[in-house]
Chain A
């Protein structure tokens, strides 16, 4: 008997259990999801640009494979984290009249 190929495993995106809605209009909760997800995508694009720039500085010419294979060392990761934190402070700031000042 030949062994059957193992089926592909897919993972659910949603957790079992209640997902709370916080605003009177659930559309606001939904829009917050879109905004937060978008913020991640902008950051990912920024990091990809950063990879391209670093590789170009280093090698002068690069391929797509170079980009995919690039992994930041601790110094680069820490520079990226500084950039991410500054970005988060610019984008996700609470209105000063309704919250604490930074």
Chain B
């Protein structure tokens, strides 16, 4: 497991706090792999036979599997460990962040922008899906502000997400966007976007790989959360990456029609809402240039998987404060993309092998022979493939 790259604004912690964080990462992997790895066996060997004996049939869908598994002590122990560990992730980072303030805010405020910019909109309304519950149980979510020019939540997210991932996404926590950017370049080498927009960038960890992959492009990134953007801007400047951050809602972009050649996002739709999702796709259609492309990496639709896998992947929908997750994974992306005005034959979907955790042959194969067949969903840290879809305009 790599250590996190320590840019100028990263808050890690004391000797003991860092070791606590690293332990929590391993604990999470243990719960996912060792404890979580047993969930299927418990279902097949005990819960399913008991259900069959009782009802004279096997569970008919993932909801019935969920109910039966949560009545079993193995399912309960696994679940309570998952929730506890999720809380421990953020709590392992919290004291160091508190100690770093208010100095951190001062340093973020004092950043001299040499490469990019940040434009905030204090009048923006926070969408209900961010206000209703703290996503991923991160106290304060992405957007809460506790002081003038506050960047606290950005710092909490930067370190906390690395602990959550256990470093599986690399020292820059950018495995998914790096994979996406490499894939787009490999599959469509003649595509040279001049202006790129990322939707829901939070602190810009997913923006940087596109700056690296397309050095001639002007890269913009939007998010609704000011603390994430302030911190992301400071981080980008510390890494000398030219990124223009804007506080905007992806449902209602302030950009002109046809102003970007490439619009992308990394696992954001399931954190929005059923109302927001089509609006965001319509905004992509409006803001893209003719001949431009949108690409979104997201959770795999459950239609592509077995009832058991759907139950397993949907755990987060019930217990990790992700209210739209379950509805989102039940949707057919192609239907919604075409519904937003993209042409049927311009749609694409593919399951991309993770750049770091797959062979180069597997990656090359997904370029020459794009498929979604092997896209069994898994949580971050378990998966080595990323379901990506989009369309050309």
* A→B interface (CB under 8 Å): 6-20, 22-23, 28-29, 32-33, 36-37, 39-41, 43-44, 47-48, 51, 67-71, 74, 77-78, 80-81, 84-85, 88-89, 92-94, 98-100, 102
Contact = CB atoms under 8 A, between A and B. Distances in A.
9 closest A-B pairs (Cβ-Cβ)? Answer: A17-B133, A47-B19, A6-B102, A15-B137, A15-B134, A43-B23, A22-B76, A88-B30, A100-B41
B291 interface: no
Interface in B124-140: 132-134, 137-140
Given A19-B83, A51-B15, A100-B37, A44 B42 contact: no
B253 interface: no
B74 A99 contact: yes
A94 B79 contact: no
A36 B147 contact: no
- Chain B binding surface SS class: helix
Given A9-B147, A36-B84, A20 B22 contact: no
Interface string B3-42: 1000000000011101110111011011100110110011
Given A8-B102, A100-B41, A100-B42, A32 B80 contact: yes
A85 B102 CA distance: 36
A13 B23 contact: no
Given A9-B98, A44-B20, A81-B1, A70 B80 contact: no
B88 interface: yes
Nearest to B72: A98
Contacts of A15: 87, 90, 133-134, 137-139, 321
Interface residues on B, range: 35 or more
A78 B166 CA distance: 12
Contact of A9 (B23, B73, B85, B152): B152
B6 to A, nearest CB: 10
A77 B3 contact: yes
Contact of A23 (B15, B18, B76): B76
Contacts of A68: 14-15
Interface in B294-335: 318-319, 321
11 contacts: A9-B102, A9-B146, A9-B147, A14-B139, A28-B80, A43-B23, A44-B16, A47-B22, A67-B15, A81-B1, A99-B74
Nearest to A84: B26
A22 B26 contact: no
Contacts of A70: 15
Contacts of B286: none
Contacts of A94: 35, 38, 74, 77
Nearest to A67: B15
Contact of B88 (A40, A67, A93): A40
Contacts of A88: 26-27, 30, 34
A99 B74 CA distance: 7
Contacts of B16: 44, 47-48
A13 B321 contact: no
B2 interface: yes
